[in-house]
Amino acid sequence: MAGTQITGNGASTNGGGLYVTGQNAGRVDVTLSKSLFSGNTAGRGGGFYLNSTGGAFSATNCTIIGNNATPQGGGGCIVGSGIATMTNDNVSDNVATDNGAGIFVQSVQNLKIAGGTFSGNTAIAQNSFGGGIELQNITGAISGASITGNVTGGSGAGVYCDGSSTLTISSSKITDNVSGTPGGQSGGSGGGVSFTGTELTLNNDSLSGNSAFVGGGLAVTNAGVVSVTDCVFTGNIASLGGGIGVSSTSAANTATITGTTITGNIAGSGGGVFNGGTAPASLFVQIAGVNGNIAVTSGPNISGPNITTI
C-alpha cells in the first residue's frame, strides 16, 4: 500500500482503519509506504491491527496520527509478526485506554525502528504501559528516533519493554515524557524508558525532561543485563532516581553505566542514580559523569545500597 489515506473509520474490536491476520502457512506480509492513518477508532489497534505469525511488516514514511483504541490498547497500531521494520514514520497524538498508545509491538523477533517521531501519545489508564512505544517479547532495535511528550498513567511513557525481550536503543532523543503525575510525585516508573526484560542496551542516547515516580529518565526492574554507554541524562525528575532508578532482587541482574553524563536531575532520593535493589553488586556506575544533581533527602548524585563505583 503506497500513498493510501485511511481516515475516520471505526471497528468495535480490532483494527479501526485496517485489520490483517494470518498464521504460519497462511501468513500475510504487509508493506506500507507514505500512507496516512488518521482519526480511526477500535477496541484494539485504532489505526491498524496486524497479527501475522511468521510474516513481515514494513512501514516507511507513514503518518499514524490521532487514532484511538478504547477500551484496550494500541492507539496508533498493534503489530505482531515475525519481522517488523518502521522507518521515518510519524506516530503522534494517538490515544489508548490501555497499553501502547502510539504503537504496541508484540512477539516480533526481528524489530527495527529507524528514525521517526513518536510524540504526544497518551495511554490513559492508571496502570497503563507505553505511552509512545510498548514492546512485549521482542528482539529488536530503535535508532535515531525522537520520542517526546508522551504520557501514561502507569510506566514507560516514552518506551515500555517487558517479557523475554532484548532491546537496543541508540542515537535517540527521549524527552519530556510523563509517567503518572507530572513531577514524579506518584505513578509508575521510567518516564523516558521502563525496562523489565532480558537485556537492554542504551548507546549515545539523550534522555531529558522526563518524569516518573521511580527513574525519571530510565527505570530498570529485575532486568537481566543492562548496559548504558555514552548517554546523557539531564533535567529528569522522580521521587526515587531522577536520572536512573534500578531495582533488582538477584545478583544475576546487573546494570552497568559507563561514559555517561548524569547531571541536573532532581529526586527525593538519588537525584542522579538510585538503587533500590537488594542484590549484592547489582549496579555498577562510572562515577565521573554523575554530578550536579539534586535530592531532597539522600544522595544528591547516587543513593542506595549495593552500588559499585568504577
Encode pLDDT of 99-147 as tens digits.
999 999 999 999 999 999 999 999 999 889 999 999 999 999 999 999 9
d(CA 214, CA 187): 8
306 φ/ψ sector (left φ>0, alpha ψ -120 to 50, else beta): left
Residues 13-51 have pLDDT tens digits of 999 999 999 865 567 899 999 999 999 999 999 999 999
Q: How far apart are the first and last CA of the chain?
A: 52
Residue 243 near residue 231, CB atoms below 8 Å:
no
- Among 134, 206, 136, residue whose Cα is nearest residue 169: 206
Name which of 22-31, 65-74, 225-234, 249-258 the model is least confident about. 22-31
3-state helix, strand, coil in the chain (%, to 5): 0, 55, 45
Average pLDDT, the chain: 93
pLDDT tens figures, 274-305: 998 776 557 888 877 999 999 999 889 999 88
**Matching residue, cell 552497568:** 256
pLDDT of residue 274: 94
| Placement of cell 562510572 in the chain | 286
The residues, ordered by sequence, that sit 6+ positions from 48 with a Cβ below 8 Å of its Cβ are 6, 15, 16, 17, 18, 19, 20, 37, 40, 77, 78
**Is this structure's pTM higher than 0.75?**
yes
- In 10 A of CB 127, how many CB atoms? 13
Give me the amino acid identity at 66.
G
Nearest CA-CA partner of 195 in 286, 273, 130, 266:
130
User: Considering only 26-30, 88-92, 156-160, 237-241, which range has the smallest mean pLDDT?
Assistant: 26-30
Amino acid, res. 124? I
Distance (Å, rounded) from C-alpha 41 to C-alpha 35? 17
- Cα 82 from Cα 55, distance rounded (Å): 5
Three cell numbers written together for 310: 568504577
Cell numbers describing residue 123: 495511554
Residues in the chain: 310
Number of H helices, E strands in the chain: 0, 40
| Comparison of pLDDT for 78 and 309, the residue scoring more | 78
Q: Which three cell numbers stand for residue 259?
A: 561514559
What is the model's pLDDT at position 16? 97
